[in-house]
A and B are shown apart, each in its own frame.
Chain A
Amino acid sequence: MMMSKNDTFLSVRDLVVEYTAEGQVIHAVNGVSFDLERGKTFGLVGETGAGKTSTARAILRILPDPPAKIRGGEIILDGEDLLKISEKEMRKIRGRKVSMIFQDPMTALNPIMKVGEQISEVIKMHNDIPWREANERAVKMLERVGIPGDRSEEYPHQFSGGMKQRVVIAMALACSPELLLADEPTTALDVTIQAQVLEMINKLKKDFNTSMIMISHNLGVVAEVCDDLAVIYAGEIVELGSKEAVFDHPAHPYTLGLFGAVPSLAEEKDRLNPISGLPPDPSHLPEGCHFNPRCPYAQEQCLKEKIPLREIGPGHFCRCIRVTEKEGKYVILG
């Protein structure tokens, strides 16, 4: 469908995830497709509830079932469809080939286990080595993320938020995974610590040659670490392309709205321009283009027909019929 190259490491095709709650079906992810090359970082940007986390959890197959169900699609990692293999085979992949950094470092660590023990647990799970050696490797891993090794005997409550996130990152990287899913790794941290953590993730990613999927609602974070990115709205990719393409030439009205809502230091501005309205109720998605109730350019066709993702520039895709190119810029016919 798009960007199909030979060095594609992860390829997600038409992924559909639904939740069932009180008889209602919640359409969390509706046909998301993207590719990720080895060593590259892919960003998933979107509002709360857009389906970013569900996509990542589907890749690791740790969606809570029930209520969540993967209804369709393929997740091809290194030529293997993760949705088709058995749970036993999947367990070999979890933590070793693919691992995840969780959003909230305050709750992602077991409060009654020493941090060193939690890291060595991963190592022990995947390597047939004695506990002592696993512990030694855990201490080394802690040192790599900038925590003195002698603190491995301490409990999570003895660490600050930023350091806990480092521990979580150490856990995720302990077995040198080939794919790292970072689910808003900096959201729970304050801005200075955010910068440190991002820098560290970037460095470790380079050292280990890890591919990464970075989930964020923060455009600044995505700009800092990603090569390519997709903007997700109501479980669909509305815009996809390289970081340069999307940041320099945003095309979709929703993407434009996101950028319009970012405060800028360079411009004099009294008010930000928020996107009016709220994200749609995922159990009753609007017909046609899911963005139509909030789109200032919506037309009759947008209310009725499903809008396909189409290529508007090389490797730059957009789910909007109104976008055309004019003198090197994208214009929305209004």
Chain B
Amino acid sequence: MKILDFFRRTKAPGAKAGEDLFKTKYQSFKKLLDANNRALEIMSRLETVSQGDFVFDIQYIRARSDAILDVCQVIIDELNVLGNNRYTALIPIYEDIKARLHQELAGSSPPGGDAWTLPLSRVDRRLLAEVGGKNANLGEIKNRLQLPTPEGFVVTAEAYRQVLAENDLTERLEAFFQEVDPDNLADLTAKSRLLREQILQARIPARLAQEVQQRYEELAQALGRPPRLALRSSGLYEDQEFSFAGQFLTKLNVSLENFFPNYLEVLASQWSPTALVYLAQKGLARRELAMSVGCLAMVAAQASGVLFTEDPAGSHTGVMVVEAAWGLGPTVVEGTLVPDRYLLAKEGEIAILEQHLSPKTFRLAAAPNGEGLATEAVPDSDQVQAALTTEELLVLGRHGRRLEEYFGEPQDIEFAVDAGGQVIILQARPLTVSRPRPEALPPERLAAHPVLIDQGTAACFGVAAGPVFIIERDEDLSRFPEGAVLVARYTSARYGSVIHKAAALVVDIGSATSHLAILAREFKIPALVDTEKATQVLETGLEITVDADRQRVYQGRVAELLGPAAPQKGPLLAETPLYATLRRVLRFITPLHLTDPKLMDFKPESCRTLHDLTRFAHQTGIAEMFELGEQARRQEAYMVRLKTPIPLNLYLIDLGGGLRREVRGQFVSPEDILSVPMRALWRGVSHPEVSWAGPIAIDVKGLYSVVSRSLSAAAPQQGDFWLRTLAIVSKNYLNFSSRLGYHFATIDAYVSEVRNDNYLSFRFKGGAADEYRRGLRVRFLGAILQKLDFDIEIIGDLVVARLGKYPQPLMEDKLDLLGRLMACARQRDMVMGDARIIDWYVQAFLEGNYRFEGEPR
């Protein structure tokens, strides 16, 4: 191996340690680069696959996730070798990402657990397959984030399977799926009713009855009273990628005595026509329906509502939206009254930006002497009072922000405020946001079309046309025609069974946060809510155009608004559970938060994904190689000197493949250089048009500033004017540090055929003249470097320039030009006395006038 031979020939005694250090570090750096490339390749591939159109399986996701975890491990290890274990802070971050990624994948495994019930205190996302999405999220909120949630327990999907098995329902369900046609709503409704009746009559296995009794007693003991329960459905995919918003049942205020009839009702709800159609539309299979049920102690809610950590209608940015009403939550999520609405500032200190209070004439409460809920009139004096206090809103806002940060995406959160004013989180799920379309149409072009409605709130942006179909009762749903505009009084979640067939949705009352609005966004159906009068001014059969972007409904088809292509609807590959799993896994891999190494948060603690880790390690690895250059300056033992008339006093250290093998003795000539970046740089340094010889004519002020600086402490002595320049080279690597006169320049570059590995980093600092003149030179350098496509940063008289990932020939060109630029910038500070002439110098350089002939005086 060349490097060893070379060191043996030239090194002084005791240099062995230095030699090993270089070799080890350089090799670590190369491994880091290789691993980084591999990581980037895997990420790109996964991102491409996740866009849709690909067929893969869960093994593929597992294998690729493991592969990228392995290369990231290599990256972290090598960076620590390079940096003498200064980056061990990356290890726990990596381990945490790894654990969470594995949790996500474990959640996608076929069900393996055999617990029938679990206390909520033991639930988290690792148990996703057994406790369902809603319970898993609530477990995370309770046990990891430790935010206030109700106490309770979970009846698992395994218990559900046992109930089916014990009642011979498994086969009946199979048969049902063989026979049913999801496009025939009447048939579906009839068959699903039969099936639900069978489930409602199911016998409860003795073990389940015992376990529920025991869990309830434990809960009662913990609370100090026998609680009423809220039974909440928690489907396997519910509240993950697929909202199933409002599709499954929640039963409130349930006593232990009536636990199982209610439990069975919740199970049966997943066979409702609405849920079955949703399932078919989303390409989910029947096994996805395994249902877990969350059994939570009822919160005696003084007020309840929903918090969206982004404006779901997309009208505002940087805000959170809260809707709240008196009593229990269904009034808000089912859209049966217009709730209070608040906008909170999301960034910085949480603040209330807007508050719209509505008359809340009634509230839902636990029925005082029985099961279920009762509607109560709200006293006149309270109707227009805000349902939430300022303090409650601020606490809620802070909880919301934490939940969004933790789950890594905007959240749709249901909450309640108890009698003591404590804000309690009932559930959180990913939020679907509708964004307005950017193009605007001048209103005058629409003047010919009669406007039927010009008010309301956009729940999902977009424009669509079709005949009106007013739904007055549930029976109307089975007659709902494909492509009609669904018009109704309320935003009932039951209308979800036909939403996929609807061209648009228009309702009198209800908000953009209701379940039906969530479904509309999921299916990308333009939706207008809160129009107050849709069912009065529209009639079934009337052709209308719904313009949710401008909150208008026009009579007839408005071609100008409708555009050429209808949006694609129906099941898409990218919406299948497997794609959903891939996207969830990618949340830990591809997002990049560490974008700018200049920013303060460019540190291990800020890494949240594997992409962040690789970005940090790559950038820091390059910085460490700079350090290596510095260390080499102090190790004189195994250097050779370059024979050249250019007064650079250039010494070289070869780490392998950077110099011709036959080199002997203390000197090498430029022809002996094999290092790709060094050769390229040398082409520029030795360019026939650039001049290194002789002093540059300086003006009197320039000379004065040099003299005064020489008198200050930091200036080098006269004899050191040409200090040594050092280049550490290998076949593809160069670390070049030169002190020319009063300035200091370093180049760190890697140039190979692998474009992704290539980078070039240049720093230039100092000078002999005063601060003003040095500043001028930095501006001169910065302007040229920018023209040469470098990303530049100027701090005082330091200019830092970086570029990367160019093909080898272009990288070589940039190094060549840097070589010329260093020569030209030499002492240029002393002749630059006037900011106005910088442009002249920049232009001269770019034109190849490296001697600056015709220089303005």
A binds B: no
Interfacial residues, chain B to chain A (CB-CB below 8 A): none
